[in-house]
């Protein structure tokens, strides 16, 4: 065996061991995550501004459940539909709804000013907390909730842009910890029943 081939072979085997090691590590990580759902950290501290211009922290809502949804007011379909479902679910809960704070966080702070959020929020649950902030504050909140968002290029130049975003609704406990999430197309009855079990 020439030294060149031998060196190549050694490098190849070393690379193989590295790849195998990485695969085994990843496999063990995945299976341990499945065993302990509590390890999925969704949610966390945020500092944002509500539709009345007041600074709000996630800790302001301790002692109540939170329904947290990220979107933007110019969203043509998913956001208004989802917020309407949240509103309906809270109506179905009746007086118990005072134990649940619906929270809407914009992923489009450039257009979703405090005034724009105030206007938009008036279409939904009366106690909806609509939040905006700086790009950094929004990014930090979205990151805490594992929410992805990205400004999409409009089909035609000059058209308003849209924002691709994760559309889950997160149900958070009285201690601020993640309890579960709803799909955006969940029925209001289902949502109300699931929330009701946590009250
Ligand atoms: Ni949307």
What is the structure's pLDDT at 155? 82
Instruction: Say what the pLDDT of residue 33 is.
Output: 41
CA of 53 to the centre of ligand 1 (A): 23
Report CA(13)–ligand 1 centroid distance (Å): 49
Q: Encode the chain (199 residues) as per-residue pLDDT tens digits.
A: 666 666 666 665 566 555 555 555 554 444 444 444 555 699 999 999 999 999 999 999 999 999 999 999 999 989 999 999 999 999 999 999 999 999 999 999 999 999 999 999 999 999 999 999 999 999 999 999 999 999 998 888 888 999 999 999 999 999 999 999 999 999 999 999 999 999 9
Ligand 1 centroid–CA 75 distance in Å is 5
- Give me the pLDDT at residue 156, please: 86
Please tell me the distance between residue 165's alpha carbon and the centre of ligand 1 in angstroms: 6
Q: Which of 198, 173, 169 is nearest to 85 (CA)?
A: 169
Question: Cα dihedral angle (97, 100, 106, 107), rounded to 10 degrees?
Answer: -130
Q: What is the pTM of this model?
A: 0.80
> What is the structure's pLDDT at 32?
43
Distance, CA 77 to ligand 1 centroid (Å)?
A: 6
**CA dist., res. 152 & res. 148, Å (int):** 13
Asked whether the beta carbons of 73 and 160 are under 8 A apart, the reply is no
| In the chain, beta strands by DSSP E | 47-50, 55-57, 65-71, 100-106, 129-132, 149-152, 162-165, 169-172, 178-182
Going from the Cα of 76 to the center of ligand 1, the distance in angstroms, rounded, reads: 7
Distance between Cα 166 and ligand 1 center (Å): 8
Q: What is the pLDDT of residue 158?
A: 86
């Amino acid at each position: 065996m020439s030294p060149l081939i031998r060196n190549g072979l050694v490098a190849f085997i070393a690379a193989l061991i590295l790849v195998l090691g990485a695969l085994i590590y990843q496999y063990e990580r995945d299976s341990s995550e499945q065993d302990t759902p509590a390890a999925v950290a969704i949610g966390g501290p945020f500092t944002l501004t509500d539709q009345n211009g007041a600074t709000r922290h996630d800790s302001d809502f301790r002692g109540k459940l939170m329904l947290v949804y990220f979107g933007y007011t110019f969203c043509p379909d998913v956001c208004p539909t989802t917020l309407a479902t949240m509103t309906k679910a809270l109506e179905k809960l009746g007086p118990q709804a005072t134990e649940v704070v619906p929270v809407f966080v914009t992923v489009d702070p450039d257009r979703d000013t405090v005034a724009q959020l105030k206007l938009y929020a008036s279409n939904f649950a009366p106690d909806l907390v609509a939040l905006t902030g700086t790009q950094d504050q929004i990014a930090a909140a979205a990151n805490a909730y594992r929410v992805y968002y990205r400004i999409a290029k409009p089909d035609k130049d000059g058209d308003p842009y849209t924002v691709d975003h994760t559309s889950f609704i997160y149900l958070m406990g009285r201690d601020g910890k993640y309890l579960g999430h709803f799909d955006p197309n969940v029925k209001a009855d289902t949502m109300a029943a699931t929330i009701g079990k946590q009250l």
